[in-house]
C-alpha cells in the first residue's frame, strides 16, 4: 500500500485539488502548504524521525507559490521575523 502512495507522490506534476481552498485564488493554499512543510520538518526532526513525508508539502508549495514569495519567507525565517507560526 505505501508503495502505491510513494509512487503517486513521486510522479505527480502539479498540486492536486484541495477542498479547503476551492476558489481560483490559491494564495492561502500556497501559504498553508509552506507552513505545513516547515511544521512537518520541525516536528519530525524534533522526534528524530525521517522528514521524507514532508516533501509532499514542499512539492505542492513549490508548484503553487511564486518563488519570490518563497525567497522572502525563507529570508524572514532566517531573520526571525516570519509572521507565521511554525
pLDDT tens column, 54-84: 998 999 899 899 999 999 999 999 999 999 9
pLDDT at residue number 5: 61
pTM: 0.78
Q: Which among 31, 25, 28 has a CA at the least distance from the CA of 84?
A: 31
Taking phi over 0 as left and psi of -120 to 50 as alpha, with beta for the rest, 6 belongs to alpha
pLDDT at residue number 3: 66
Which residues neighbour 60 within 8 Å (Cβ) at sequence distance 6 or greater?
15, 33
pLDDT at residue number 19: 76
pLDDT tens column, 1-26: 466 766 666 666 667 777 777 777 88
Amino acid at each position: 500500500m505505501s508503495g502505491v502512495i510513494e509512487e503517486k507522490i513521486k510522479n505527480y506534476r502539479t498540486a492536486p485539488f484541495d477542498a479547503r481552498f476551492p476558489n481560483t485564488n490559491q494564495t492561502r493554499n500556497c501559504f498553508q502548504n509552506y507552513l505545513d512543510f516547515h511544521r512537518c520538518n520541525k516536528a519530525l526532526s524534533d522526534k528524530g524521525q525521517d522528514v521524507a513525508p514532508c516533501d509532499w508539502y514542499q512539492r505542492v508549495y513549490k508548484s503553487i507559490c511564486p518563488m519570490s514569495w518563497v525567497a522572502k519567507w525563507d529570508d524572514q525565517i532566517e531573520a526571525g521575523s516570519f509572521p507565521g507560526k511554525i
